[in-house]
Chain A
């Protein structure tokens, strides 16, 4: 493998706080060195990065990759193409597939399919409960040995408090954690939008935002008694974030992520019955959006995940309440996060930290940094270059972006996986 030398880049490494011009040298798929004037090793491929940012590949905690069972919406290969275009080099795949990833052989299947892409480290979650049905805990030990990164039922909340208690407790034996979809299902059933004035005017069945805080409060109490680690996915309300902030201050093993729609959009995005903006959890009022943005700044939120949920036209071209929830997110994860930076709301390194080093730490991965010896998962970014999100022109199969039509600033111009160029 030829060496690669990136020259004249703005090196951005949130793990070390580095933001400085310099070169970066890649050898044998690893970062060999970075700094000013590294020299030019014989035969090295030179990538002129003048005017561009060079940062670690993104680590996405949460995406549905369609396989097995929903290949008409997305395949692992198409998700990998979208991920590469979005600068994502490590991606955690949800297990609420068909069949659910509750058997070691299925986890290995997804791992092998991920390896076959050559462009992505695909890390499958194991099912938290057998069949993701919320009743009996799955075989965490055997699943972890097979390669499961952690345990979740994906889009389904673990409704039974007893099952969640056992899951948190049992995961501790294997040093792992449980990811919860924080929404009390008995309050969310049948709902299509956040309960409130807008849902009332549109005549849509509402989901009270308290459905999130109730589940978060319950699971924090369970984390306290089990000493287990609970991670809340796509947190979207001020009330839930306050509970998580307090739990962290108490020293409990509680972490969380959010997804770009919850700090970039509010519920008015569904105003003209745009089913692409129908998400789970539903978009919230502006006050909650502001609370999510504030929690990105103050560190309460540990990571920003794409929450990629591929849906096809048949899923979305329906009356709003009947349409499937979920939005495509791989291609827009970085761009929408950078919108916070361009708005002056979030420092650049803090934003990138939430996409690289912090999720890496949560998962215990060596990636997500420009440190010497780290895998050469790299993204070349033109921070100022504008582009527009357009249905039909997104990489990958899924086109159901809630940001359809949105103008973004900051575009990935190249992605490398273990020293191999996989995009641009």
Chain B
């Protein structure tokens, strides 16, 4: 595929916020091609040949790191994983020290996950590589939003006009924020569902409708997207107990029954079964697309690497 315009004009993917619908559409089209290619068993190992991709993870991750690793390898890049313990890198100064180290290694593509919002943006100002945000604090997780959108588009044939309910701990979720930006840019209707203690301030200003009653929030929805509720939220007092959370905000068959009959269920993983989602729903092949989300993750990350590599070639 070729494009008449630069898809990621600043040479990084730091956030969904700021991307225009044509850019998002082009990334999804390209990712769709990679999904087909991956299923056909063919490879394209020359695209990133000789390029170095570093997975720089300041936070533990299995699936996202593996997904980027696989995406890089399928396109022929040399992939290196760097896990840095968070304790040694809490200060901005140290982060910039890391940047100069990476520059000395002549890294081309840098995938960054960090517990602090804005850390990948800071790195992008200091490294010569193209930076891909693989999740920063409670800010954004752009490739997750892309893979979610691709999964929805493949199942529903479109994004425009769909009603998407994003449920649970929206307050701490970078996945939710990226999804709100992407799906509202593509003219889907977004609903945020959760207790008021887990909905961020002024969430409605992001273009979403807020619900504190789960059934009202998912009534008639095309997509029900569950978020992970971390155990710390209970000890932090934002939610009184997991039994209460599951009773009122956990997705089970009874609550799902008010969504559209063909509504799909999504979860970015890893799931807390019996807290935010019931196994009967998570494992229902008719409803759950959680496995497909993982598959689309690799395809979307290949598309992002491809697009950024085009810019690398252009600048070379």
Contacts and interface: CB of A to CB of B under 8 A. Distances in A.
Contact of B196 (A135, A163, A173): A173
Contacts of B213: 173
Interface stretch (B8-16, B110-118, B238-246, B255-263): B238-246
Contacts of B212: 172-173
A262 interface: no
B241 A139 contact: yes
A22 to B, nearest CB: 44
A141 B237 contact: no
Interface of B: 195-197, 212-213, 237-238, 240-241, 243-244, 247-248
Contact of A142 (B195, B237, B238, B243): B243
Nearest to B194: A173
Contact of A136 (B196, B240, B243): B240
Contacts of B197: 166, 169-170
Given A130-B240, A135-B237, A170 B247 contact: no
A350 interface: no
Interface residues of A, number: 18
A136 B247 CA distance: 19
A135 B235 CA distance: 11
Given A141-B247, A141-B248, A142-B247, A169 B240 contact: no
Given A170-B195, A170-B196, A137 B237 contact: yes
Contacts of A142: 243-244, 247
Nearest to A160: B237
Contacts of A140: 240, 244
Residue of B196, B238, B248 with highest tally of chain A CB at under 10 A: B196
A226 to B, nearest CB: 7
13 contacts: A135-B237, A136-B240, A138-B240, A139-B240, A139-B241, A139-B243, A139-B244, A142-B244, A142-B247, A163-B237, A169-B196, A170-B195, A173-B213
Contacts of B243: 139, 142
A304 B196 CA distance: 31
Interface in A379-412: none
Contacts of A137: 237, 240
Contacts of A138: 240
A226 B247 CA distance: 23
Contacts of A163: 237
A229 to B, nearest CB: 12
A184 B154 CA distance: 58
A149 B247 CA distance: 19
A130 B238 CA distance: 13
A142 B248 CA distance: 9
A176 to B, nearest CB: 12
A226 B196 contact: yes
Question: Among A140, A142, A170, which residue has the most Cβ atoms of chain B within 10 A?
Answer: A170
Given A139-B241, A170-B196, A172-B196, 15 more contacts: A130-B240, A137-B237, A138-B240, A139-B240, A139-B243, A140-B244, A141-B247, A142-B244, A162-B237, A166-B237, A166-B238, A169-B195, A173-B195, A173-B212, A226-B196
Nearest to B234: A136
Nearest to A141: B248
B41 to A, nearest CB: 49
Nearest to A130: B240
A269 B247 CA distance: 51
Contacts of A169: 195-197
A136 B195 contact: no
A173 B248 contact: yes
A372 B33 CA distance: 70
A141 B248 CA distance: 7
Nearest to A171: B196
A170 B240 CA distance: 9
A160 to B, nearest CB: 9
Nearest to B199: A169
B175 to A, nearest CB: 22
The 6 tightest CB contacts between A and B, nearest first, are A173-B212, A169-B196, A139-B244, A136-B237, A139-B240, A173-B195
A169 B203 CA distance: 15
Interface in A136-191: 136-142, 162-163, 166, 169-170, 172-173
Contacts of B195: 169-170, 173
Most buried by A among B212, B237, B241, B247: B237
A141 B196 contact: no
Interface in A104-139: 130, 135-139
Nearest to A172: B196
B240 to A, nearest CB: 5
A190 B139 CA distance: 47
B118 to A, nearest CB: 25
A130 B239 CA distance: 12
B211 to A, nearest CB: 10
Nearest to A165: B197
Contacts of B196: 169-170, 172-173, 226, 228
A135 B196 CA distance: 18
A226 B243 CA distance: 24
Nearest to A173: B212
Contacts of A170: 195-197, 240
A228 B212 CA distance: 13
Contacts of A162: 237
A162 B238 CA distance: 10
A80 B241 CA distance: 34
A87 B195 CA distance: 40
Contacts of B241: 139
A137 B240 CA distance: 6
A290 B235 CA distance: 46
Contacts of A226: 196
A146 to B, nearest CB: 12
A181 B11 CA distance: 58
A164 to B, nearest CB: 11
B68 to A, nearest CB: 37
A131 B198 CA distance: 23
Contacts of A166: 197, 237-238
Contacts of A135: 237
A140 B237 CA distance: 13
A363 to B, nearest CB: 21
B216 to A, nearest CB: 11
A10 to B, nearest CB: 45
A181 B237 CA distance: 21
Nearest to B196: A169
Nearest to A169: B196
A101 B202 CA distance: 34
Interface string A227-265: 010000000000000000000000000000000000000
A163 B212 CA distance: 19
